[in-house]
Structure 1
Amino acid sequence: MAFDSISDFFAMGGYAFYVWLSYGLFFFSLLCITLHCIYKKRNIFKKVRLRLEREKRIKQASKLEETL
């Protein structure tokens, strides 16, 4: 679809509200999904780090127990 001017482009032939709203909702959804993935990734790495630290403490305690 060709437009005569930039204002015609933004008006989208009278359907601007629906067109730009759909673009806005799409980018908002994309942003929410991205932020959610980042949050979940950090949460997973935090849990893994805590688990590794716990396992390390358990190994140290068992070694200490063996020496006694």
Structure 2
Amino acid sequence: MNWASLADFINMGGRGFFVWGSYGVSLALILAELWLLSQRRKQSLQRLRALQQLDQ
């Protein structure tokens, strides 16, 4: 496809809202998953440290 301007590219032939909206939702979900993974990792490390302290 060829676009005459940046506005045409963003509009995507009248479907821009759905195209860019799906990209936005996907990005938000990926970022949320990464954040949740980091939180779970921190919790796991804290539990491991607590278990190590109980062992000593």
Measured against the shorter chain, the TM-score band is: over 0.9
Larger relative CO (CA 8 A, sep 6+): 1 or 2? 2
The CA deviation at 1:11 is 0.6
* TM-score, length of structure 2 as denominator length: 0.94
Alignment partners' CA distance in 1, 2:34 and 2:27: 10
Aligned Cα root-mean-square deviation (Å): 0.6
Consecutive unaligned residues in structure 1, runs of 5 or more: 57-68
Dislocated runs of 4+, deviation >2 Å: none
Displacement of 1:2 in angstroms is 1.9
- Between structure 1 and structure 2, the one with the greater Rg is 1
Where do 5+ consecutive residues of structure 2 fail to align?
none
Cα distance in 1, alignment partners of residues 3 and 36 from structure 2: 38
Q: How far 1:4 sits from its partner (Å)? A: 1.1
Aligned length: 56
Q: Calculate the TM-score normalised by the size of structure 1.
A: 0.79
**1:39 shift after superposition:** 0.4
Q: Calculate percent identity across the aligned residue pairs.
A: 27
Aligned to 2:41: 41
